[in-house]
Amino acid sequence: MYLKMIKLRLLNTIAPAYFFTATTVTFALQFYFFIPAIFENPDARINSSTLLHGAFFLFLILNALGNYVMTIRFPAASVQDAGPLVCSPRCTDRVDAHYLLNGRHFCKLCKKVILRRDHHCFFTGNCIGNRNMRYFIMFCVYTSTTCLYCLVLGVAYLTVEYSISFENPLTFLTLLPLSVGYFFLGAIPGLQFFIVLMLYVWLGIGLTCAGFCCQQILLVARGQTWCQLRKGQVVQTRSPWRSNLSDVFGRQWVLGLFLPVQTVGRLQDHAADKKES
């Protein structure tokens, strides 16, 4: 168990570094290669298409980064965590967490009592719960959208710069293994090989975040957490799905769809905390 905890702590450090590295590389590829090459117009001093796509990409990535920061800034720690920690009779003493009384959890990685703990996110380095679930969901939404957008522009860049045709659906499936072979044979430049790798990185991250987003919205609408689902617990007093979504997204949920701002007040957080106790 001690070795597993070391692995989890190491992952808790590596995952955020991986996220910021991928974000920096994505930003550089978009503004230094993709957008100028695809939408460049030599006849116009100011290209409206370049400005439009650049602004749209900035909107996506700033919302992804903004919700990422908000997920960390508003942790899911319980405000009523004073006193000795009493484990639940059904506590299995998992590697990452203890199950406490009153539906709380003690995360061994965060070293905090978590209110309505859903899971520990290694990319943000903290737990996802009732307080930061809204930011985590929006982070997944904008990250998956950004990856899809980058994937489309990456394919367009390879078509424009290297005359790779994607009319055949099998082209994308065979692109990576063929590119690996051609790269080590010296038949393609390093930039082309790196962009091909990034296409699959964006595809993997985009699909993963989209899956997390759909799962979390479904669980929130049901008033359930991933921890409860994993343990087979059934929510006894289940509120209407609109009420459950309102508890997480707040009354100003429309504003939260477009800006990474706080839409759930502190009074509502304290009310949710008392509800769990």
Residue 171 domain boundaries? 1-78+94-266
Residue 277 has pLDDT above 50, yes or no: no
Pairing between β-strand 126-128 and β-strand 119-121 as defined by DSSP bridges: antiparallel
Asked if the structure places residue 183 within a domain, the reply is yes
User: Tell me: the pLDDT tens digits for 172-217?
Assistant: 999 999 999 999 999 999 999 999 999 999 999 999 999 999 999 9
Q: Which residue in 87, 91, 107, 121 is the catalytic one? A: 121
User: Tell me: the pLDDT tens digits for 2-30?
Assistant: 787 788 889 888 999 999 999 999 999 99
Asked if the structure places residue 84 within a domain, the reply is no
91 near 100, Cβ under 8 Å? yes
Residue 60 has pLDDT above 80, yes or no: yes
Q: Give the residue, 255 or 1, on which the prediction is more confident.
A: 255
Q: What burial class does residue 76 get, using C-beta atoms within 10 Å of its C-beta: 0-12 exposed, 13-18 middle, 19+ buried?
A: buried
Count structural domains, the chain.
1
Our answer to whether residue 91 is catalytic in this structure is no
Asked if the structure places residue 88 within a domain, the reply is no
Instruction: Give the C-alpha separation, 170 to 162, whole Å.
Output: 18
Task: Provide the pLDDT for residue 267.
Answer: 43
User: Tell me: the pLDDT tens digits for 107-158?
Assistant: 878 878 887 788 888 888 888 987 889 999 999 999 999 999 999 999 999 9
Asked if the structure places residue 224 within a domain, the reply is yes
Asked if the structure places residue 83 within a domain, the reply is no
Residue 89 has pLDDT above 50, yes or no: no
Asked if the structure places residue 123 within a domain, the reply is yes
Task: Provide the pLDDT for residue 9.
Answer: 85
Assign 113 to helix, strand or coil.
strand
Q: Give the residue, 276 or 10, on which the prediction is more confident.
A: 10
Asked if the structure places residue 272 within a domain, the reply is no
b/e sequence 20-36, b meaning 16+ C-beta within 10 Å: eebbeebeebbeebbbe
